[in-house]
A and B are shown apart, each in its own frame.
Chain A
Amino acid sequence: MAAHLSYGRVNLNILREAVRRELREFLDKCAGTKAIVWDEYLTGPFGLIAQYSLLKEHEVEKMFTLKSGRLPAADVKNIIFFVRPKLELMDIIAENVFSEDKLHSSRDFHILFVPRRSMLCEQRLKEQGVLGSFVNIEEYILDLIPFDGDLLSMEYESAFRECYLENDQTSLYHTAKGLMTLQALYGTIPQIYGKGECARHVANMMLRMKREFAGSQNQILPVFDTLLLLDRNIDLLTPLATQLTYEGLIDEIYGINNGYVKLPPEKFAQKKQGESSKDLPTDPKKLQLNSAEELYAEIRDKNFNAVGAALSKKAKIISAAFEERHNAKTVGEIKQFVSQLPHMQAARTSLANHTSVAELIKDITTSEAFFDNLTVQQEFMTGVDTDKVNTYIEDCIAQKDPLIKILRLVCMQSVCNNGLKQKVLDYYKREILQTYGFEHILTLNNLEKSGLLKLQTSSRNNYPTIRKTLKLWMEDANEQNPNDISYVYSGYAPLSIRLTQFLARPGWRSIEEVLKMLPGPLFEERQQLPAGLHKKRQQGENRITLVFFLGGVTYAEIAALRFLSQMEDGGMEYVIATTKLINGTTWIKSLMDKPKPKTP
């Protein structure tokens, strides 16, 4: 059912099974028929853990989304609220419970807090006078959700905002807890490296939690050799750039949510022959994206310019395989051919789907607007004219292009120039406020507070030094047969991944100067393993590093790490974990404030 999770070096299915077991235990605690009321945000992540069929087996008969007012009618014994611990949700629950109480009396209410219960929320329920109505109030610890064989995410959307804007460390606590759960299943991770303020906090919390359990030694042979904790704010540049891998572009253009993407249906319509062309599907086409699909696993991390060739090669292989049937002479051969048919048909559907997706993307990437935007990004990244007002940005504002596009570019310029001159910064800000409305002053302030947009304070710009030392710009990036991670942005090598690469070889000592220029402390910790658990490594066996991005990671960065894992002489394989899978757009959005003006 979740085969794609066990492909990698680390079997993440173990984690999935563990959380599924817990869910089942909770459901069985509430005897009888059940209805689940969902905090809408949770349905996506839960879909990755348990399908409806699992819930059904445990007598879940109805599911609703949490809404204020009355609950829809349902003839069930138990009503279970699956919610995040947020105060505003408690008020809605109270409202629901009140209106139910008037109608029936013989129901049991339960709350399951995800990922953790909160005193504040329970207090709120008490104030509302409904706390007593609940039979069970429990927490369901779901920190790290397996997304793929080498990818874990907490899907904690506001983590970056909370850490760098609001100084709220809740997400860091969840992170540390999540890492503890992981260590309980996969063994203590002997070495911890980190860079950044938040990374330091997480490591401290982990070490403290470990001391609290000092009595019980973890007897599992460690799977991970190293944990690398990286703050997003040491590399603000990478997410701002447009991702150029296949998966990255799908995310940039259509947005991937919990492993699914919704695409415009037109391109997929004509596939089914025989159907009348009148009833074209109007619902968006939903496609699941993970490595379980052989073809997708192959092309997801390629630079988009190499995807076309890969698809046509695949097409040839598949049609050749179908041609085989003419050569099948004996009954045995025919039988063998038939047995392969389902697999081949699946491959053909998958090929058709991805060809359509690639066509959709190509329409956009070949447009002039896309090209111009990319050119300006690459100019900034190579340090061309980053200290004056950019005419392309000016034109985009004058034409009222989407605000997020503007913000991405302006922030990028600011990051590449180590802040903008007062005059330039004020000019951009004024332009944005006058064009898009004064209310965005709140967003601009947020961007300044989190360091994405800043005033140049010293005349020295560190970025060129960082770029040169870490080789962030590669002139000769090979998109077809990459030999360096810079292929994921057609020239730009993500800073975060370069740091990871340097850590593996030759070590961070060689780039101390640059590390000092990046914000936040640098640290290294060791966790003692009980005797006898030291791993004896076989010849040629790669070491495994878990890289944790605090504040989000992009698909292009993931692609770059997968590329490093596959390098023959790398000696290192990577598993990736993050608070949230992001792209520049969703990231900036999470930092925006939008007050809605009331019309008088």
Chain B
Amino acid sequence: YYIAASYREKRLETRLSQLQNAVDEFNRAKNDFSAKATEDEMRLLRLQRKLDDEKGLRLLGLSLQDTMETLLSSGLHKQADQIYRDFKVPDKRYWWLKLKSLAEKSEWEELEKF
């Protein structure tokens, strides 16, 4: 099973190719949801690496929610907003997260903007 195998891979490239195999399998089995979810995961992994390289974070392997949380707590609101739009995160969950993170950092001015 390719997904389990992908987690055994240390290198990102091989992991992505395992996931691509999984996507193919899911498509063949007409499991649209899983295929789409796996594609999203690949997209996320690539994005995480890009951000890790650029900003020196350690995002790779985190869930989408945790990624956004880390970004927000590092003050990278623009990038978090981008993920929120790209991955169609429900508004409610995202605003919760954003509120929490702003409140934790007591950035009341930023909060005012809502």
Whether B34 pairs with A400 at a CB distance below 8 angstroms is no
For B41, the closest partner residue in chain A by CB is: A438
Interface of A is mostly: helix
- The residue from A426, A438, A597 contacting B44, defined by CB atoms under 8 A apart: A438
Closest A residue by C-beta to B90? A431
- Cβ–Cβ contact A597 & B7, under 8 A: yes
Residues of B within 8 A of A430 (CB): 37
Which residues of chain B (28-43) have a CB below 8 Å from chain A? 33-34, 37-38, 40-41
Task: Check A435–B3 contact: CB distance below 8 A.
Answer: no
Q: A439-B7, A595-B8, A599-B60 are in contact. Are A398 and B97 (CB under 8 A)?
A: yes
With known contacts A398-B92, A398-B93, A431-B90, A437–B7 Cβ distance under 8 A: no
- CB <8 Å contact, A595 and B4: yes
A441 touching B63, Cβ below 8 Å: no
Interface status of A385 (Cβ within 8 A of chain B):
no
* Inter-chain contacts of A597 with B (CB < 8 A): 7, 61
Asked whether any CB of chain A lies closer than 8 Å to the CB of B10, the reply is yes
- Provide the A429-449 mask, 1 if CB < 8 A to any CB of B, else 0: 111011111110110010000
Q: Does B62 contact A (CB under 8 A)?
A: yes
Quick one: given A426-B33, A429-B37, are A435 and B10 in contact (CB under 8 Å)? no
CB distance from B26 to the nearest CB of A (A): 10
The count of residues in chain B whose C-beta lies closer than 8 Å to any C-beta of chain A is: 30
The A/B interface has a contact count, at CB < 8 Å, of 69
Residues from chain B with a CB closer than 8 A to the CB of A394 are: 90, 92-93
**Inside 8 A of B33's CB, which chain A residues have their CB?**
426, 429
A598 touches B96 (CB 8 A): no
Indicate if the CB atoms of B62 and A437 lie closer than 8 Å: yes
A394, A430, A436, A599 pick with most chain B CB within 10 angstroms = A430
Residues of A within 8 A of B7 (CB): 439, 595-598
Query: Interface 1/0s, chain B 33-65, versus A by CB < 8 A?
Result: 110011011001000000000000000111111
A600 CB–B CB distance under 8 Å: yes
Q: B96 touches which one: A398, A434, A595, A596 (CB < 8 A)?
A: A398
A593 in the interface (beta carbon within 8 A): yes
Q: Are B10 and A598 in contact (CB under 8 A)?
A: yes
Contacts of B89 in A (CB 8 A): 434
* A399 interfacial contact with B, CB 8 Å: yes
**Cβ distance A21 to chain B, nearest Cβ, rounded Å:** 44
B11 on interface, CB distance cutoff 8 Å: yes
> Counting CB contacts under 8 A, is B102 at the interface?
no
A397 interfacial contact with B, CB 8 Å:
yes
How far, in whole Å, are A598 and B4 apart by their CA atoms in the complex? 12
Question: Which of A404-431 touch B at CB < 8 Å?
Answer: 426, 429-431
CA distance A597 to B89 in the complex (A): 24
B108 interface residue per 8 A CB criterion: no
The answer to whether B93 and A431 touch across the interface, beta carbons within 8 angstroms, is yes
Nearest chain B CB to A146 CB, angstrom units: 38
Alpha-carbon distance A376/B47, docked complex (angstroms): 37
Report how far A595 CA is from B8 CA in the complex, Å: 8
In the complex, how many angstroms separate the beta carbon of B96 from the nearest chain A beta carbon? 4
Taking a contact as CB atoms under 8 Å apart, the answer to whether A434 and B10 are in contact is: no
Known pairs A400-B65, A435-B64, A600-B60 / 14 extra A-B pairs, C-beta < 8 Å: A394-B90, A398-B92, A398-B97, A433-B63, A435-B65, A436-B63, A437-B63, A438-B41, A441-B3, A595-B7, A595-B8, A597-B7, A598-B8, A600-B10
Closest 5 CB pairs of A and B: A595-B7, A437-B63, A438-B41, A434-B64, A435-B65
15 of the cross-chain contacts (CB-CB < 8 Å) are A429-B37, A430-B37, A435-B63, A437-B63, A438-B44, A438-B63, A439-B7, A441-B3, A441-B37, A442-B4, A595-B7, A597-B61, A600-B10, A600-B11, A600-B12
